């Protein structure tokens, strides 16, 4: 736990939204109270999350895991359709052509996305929905949250891929209707 209240990706890392949200959620799931921990660790972590844009600003992997848990709505995720695996292998966007680590992440993540799997909504999950966001969970615009990412993580890059993503999301919505 860092002095600023957040957690990094490793023991010596600077605080990130990904590290802070996932550590906070993990501790809550393990039974730590929202105001517990040494030196108010949990409350400091929660304040850090809210001060840096709330859990809506977590990177994509975090959004996916929070969605599986039931703390983040699946509509707040960028599309990761498993149907991409059905494309002909010769196409450059086929997952089989991805770097091995990307491919091995895309496989289960696309499955979860396709199933829209959500675990049981427990009292702890409901409490996390209240604690991790700057507004009520029901009022969050998940379409806007989809592309949110905490700026200090250095992961916000608007490029040609961002425009392709916009076209992709709209086409997925048409197919899902």
Residue 4 domain flag = no
Counting other chains too, the contacts that 19-23 makes at CB distance below 8 Å and 24 or more residues apart are: 20/45, 20/48, 20/49, 20/52, 21/49, 21/55, 21/58, 21/62, 21/66, 21/132, 22/62, 22/65
Note the pLDDT tens digit of each residue in 103-117.
898 899 999 999 999
Residue 95 domain flag = yes
Residue 98 domain flag = yes
Residue 41 domain flag = yes
Confidence at residue 88, expressed as pLDDT on a 0 to 100 scale: 95
Residue 5 domain flag = no
Residue 154 has pLDDT above 60, yes or no: no
Question: How many structural domains does the chain have?
Answer: 1
Residue 3 domain flag = no
Residue 165 sits in a domain of what CATH number? Answer: 1.50.10.20
The parent domain of residue 145 ranges over 17-176
């Amino acid at each position: 736990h860092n002095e600023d209240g957040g957690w990094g990706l490793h023991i010596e890392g600077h605080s990130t939204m990904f590290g802070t949200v996932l550590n906070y959620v993990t501790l809550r799931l393990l039974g730590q109270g929202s105001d517990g921990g040494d030196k108010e660790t949990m409350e400091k972590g929660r304040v850090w999350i809210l001060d840096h844009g709330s859990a809506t600003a977590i990177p994509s992997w975090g959004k996916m895991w929070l969605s599986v848990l039931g703390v983040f709505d699946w509509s707040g995720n960028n599309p990761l359709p498993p149907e991409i695996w059905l494309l002909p292998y010769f196409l450059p966007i086929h997952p089989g052509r991805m770097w091995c680590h990307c491919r091995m992440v895309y496989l289960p993540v696309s499955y979860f996305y396709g199933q829209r799997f959500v675990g049981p909504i427990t009292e702890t999950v409901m409490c996390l929905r209240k604690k991790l966001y700057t507004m009520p969970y029901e009022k969050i615009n998940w379409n806007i949250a989809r592309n949110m990412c905490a700026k200090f993580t250095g992961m916000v890059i608007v490029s040609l891929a961002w425009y392709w993503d916009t076209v992709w999301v709209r086409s997925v919505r048409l197919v899902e209707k």
